[in-house]
Structure 1
Amino acid sequence: MTTEEIPVLAQFGLTGEQAEIRALARKIAQDRFKPRSLEWEETGKFPWENMEILAKAGLLGASVPEEYGGAGGTWLDAALILEQLGSACYVTAMAALGELGVQIRAIAAYGTEEQKRRFLPDVAAGKRICAVSMTEADAGSDIWAMRTKAVVDGDDVVVNGGKVLCSRADVAGLFIVYVRWSDDPGTRPIGAVLIERGTPGFTISPGRKTLGGEDLYDLTFENCRIPSSNVLVREDGFRRMLTAFNGQRCLNASISVGIAQGAQDAAVEYVKTRSQGGGLLGDHQGIRWMLADNEVEIQAARQLVWRAAANAAQAFPSRHEAAVAKVNANEMALRVTDRVLQIFGGNGWVKEMPAERYLRWARYGPLGGGTPQIQRNAIARELLK
């Protein structure tokens, strides 16, 4: 029995439907996505085929409310799906993250009725990809330093500035862009607008290759004029968008758990067949202890991620629980995948073998959605309030 088959689901009150969602996501990920995971990395192509498979299975629209064509699922539903995708194909997991994460939840929570009806049904059907862009060249974790500015001009809003390291920009039809509504210092003037691909004044740079195989892009806005109906949040916008981003942190952590589990599964299979010292590699106590340490850490991290997601239900996860889950899962995945590469020995260094792949995939988690250092600051603030 593998870790994925151990019946721990009841601890979180998962319904039979959620158990089926998890099983379906695993089957699709292992059968359809895992065999081609290295191919998606090497070509740099967006995995449209995989997104269509997820959409037809009803998994891609899990975060879209039912009235707009989705499944109306919870954060835990999304976490269950992304964990399985992360165990098989990093590129596909990151592609699906937007449709299951903050972009869609922010529109569903803060968008106008017109915005929801205009954009969400196509997302659920896999016809429209959404991207979110917050990071700037001189504003990463220090979001208060962002300079991209939106100015109201009659019935329109004019956006000027630039963003960097935006994923999925090559295929996204809609971008949620964090903007500053005034020159006042601090975070209070920060909100967000919806900018559609092809809008005059909006350009996208050529992609930059990354360690995980997913290309990243820079965005430029030069007198980019959008209708005022495309404003997502303005008043108290930063607090609302930061709250929405707690969900992204939680789902980032779920992908990290999936990556670690995928690496662990690969290591277990490897030591069962690899000969060493007159027996199997798995007969050696040192190897067994590394596998046991992996198992302890994966199980613990999964519990924290599921707790944060389950407690959120249809709302956004709490800042504290999301931060705790993310720090733990991100750093756990690095330790687990490093041990797995060591278990594979020289074969772990070979590109065609899975060990080095999982180690590379694990490295993104601590970079995206807020670094562990930023999360630790948030955790400490909560403790010392």
Structure 2
Amino acid sequence: MEFRIGPEQREMVASVRALAQGEFRRDAPKWMDGTFPWPNMKKLAGLGVLGMSVPEEYGGLGLSILDSALILEEIAKVDYVTAMAVLGEAGVQTRVISHYAPKAIKERILPQVVSGDCILSICMTEPHAGTDVANYRTNTVRRGNHLVLNGTKTLISRAEEAGMFVVFTRVEGQPGREGIGCVLVERGTPGLAVTGTYHTMGGENLHEVQFENCELPPENLVIEEDGFRKLLTAFNTQRCLNPSISLGLAEGAFDEAVSYVRERTLFGKPIADSQGIRWKFADMFKEIEAGRGLLYRACLTANPFPDPFMAATAKVFCNEMSIRVTGEALQVHGGYGFTDEYPVSRLYRGARYGSLGGGSSESLRDLVGKRILDGTMGPEGIMGLKTY
């Protein structure tokens, strides 16, 4: 059984790799203070990358989730902050608009996503509830001929730059998961305010966002009926793209470590001649390739969204693998790895985010375990033969 990417995929990945290795790698330290990488985003827009999840009829490329994962992987090898910025355009928020928003909103917003003029921000986590979606308090009600949104979201990416917020919200105060839907809120809407900033160890900023009596047109309620299932189904996209960044970080750290040991000596001998060092690289490579196989397989289940069991499995493994591999790559650098002068320290810090965002490892392990034991785990092994 062989995995190959087609010539168009290969050409796009090669273009992104050349840009990332040639320019993003050099400039990556600039974004560690929370500055948004606008120059990089404009260059990626020029390649069409920001429109990879946008249907062709709205000016995008309409690429698959695997294509998006391959591209994010290349960016993350050198620049976590830019990879996270691109995730907002390739991820679930773009696909929610593409699949569920009215045509008029798609025609107005999606071409701006493609050009890089509209950054999207997804708003899920609340101060008292992250993974526990059923306890969200943000609420949207109908009042006359418009909607009114109230609530607070926290740890939100790209909030300072976003032109559109994709907000998970309760609808008409309906309790539990069944009451969750989704509204779109444009920047400049009265009552919308970015009220707090948290600088992360990975370099990007996260924010608190408040919605106080925000009046929205009725068409901005893009998901209501069967909302929780639709949102969580779409969110499986994030559970493939988040680990693609983890995979890229691990590969980037691995490459840095290989270059380092080839140049260094210890007690008059090349470090690479040490059996202990060679074993470290064997283990790192093994873990990276295992993660790649799980992730790519999960991406290929998308129709149009990935299988939740496979996406969760790939995410848990890749997130935790990335922490292990970047940690070992840092260890190989010795004390230099602990300094900001070597890229491996940035990659290590970025890797720590993966298992926190898009569903924690703990919650996803529980999902996977339940699906195994209740017999609803999804794809059944090679050629559809049940193997468990």
Instruction: Give the structure-1-normalised TM-score.
Output: 0.95
Select the residue among 317, 323, 329 that pairs with 1:328.
Answer: 317
Distance 1:354 1:82 in 2: 18
Aligned residue in 2 for 1:96? 86
Aligned residue in 2 for 1:204? 194
Question: What amino acid is the match of 2:22?
Answer: D
Select the residue among 176, 179, 193 that pairs with 2:169.
Answer: 179
Q: CA deviation at 1:93?
A: 0.2
Distance 1:50 1:324 in 2: 31
SS of the equivalent of 2:77 reads helix
Select the residue among 126, 137, 140 that pairs with 1:150.
Answer: 140
Select the residue among 24, 31, 45 that pairs with 1:40.
Answer: 31
Aligned residue in 1 for 2:103? 113
- Give the total of aligned pairs: 374
Query: Aligned residues: percent identity?
Result: 49
Question: What amino acid is the match of 1:326?
Answer: K
Work out whether residues 60 and 96 of structure 1, in 8 Å CA contact, stay in contact via their aligned partners in 2: yes
SS of the equivalent of 1:249 reads helix
Unaligned runs of 5+ in 2: 375-388
Residues 82-136 of structure 1: per-residue CA shift (max 9 Å, x gap): 0011101011000000111101111111111112111101101111100000000
What is the correspondence of 1:1-385 to structure 2 with a 5 Å cutoff? Answer: 11-42=2-33, 44-312=34-302, 315-385=304-374
Distance 1:184 1:106 in 2: 21
Work out whether residues 12 and 306 of structure 1, in 8 Å CA contact, stay in contact via their aligned partners in 2: no
Work out whether residues 141 and 173 of structure 2, in 8 Å CA contact, stay in contact via their aligned partners in 1: no
SS of the equivalent of 1:203 reads strand
Distance 2:339 2:147 in 1: 51
Question: What amino acid is the match of 1:120?
Answer: L
Residues 177-225 of structure 1: per-residue CA shift (max 9 Å, x gap): 0100133431001000000011011111242211111001101111111
Instruction: Give the structure-2-normalised TM-score.
Output: 0.95
Distance 2:195 2:67 in 1: 34
SS of the equivalent of 2:188 reads coil
Distance 1:333 1:106 in 2: 28
SS of the equivalent of 1:11 reads coil
Work out whether residues 140 and 173 of structure 2, in 8 Å CA contact, stay in contact via their aligned partners in 1: no
Residues 361-381 of structure 1: per-residue CA shift (max 9 Å, x gap): 100000100001111111112
SS of the equivalent of 1:67 reads helix
SS of the equivalent of 1:306 reads helix
- The CA RMSD measured in Å over matched residues stands at 1.1
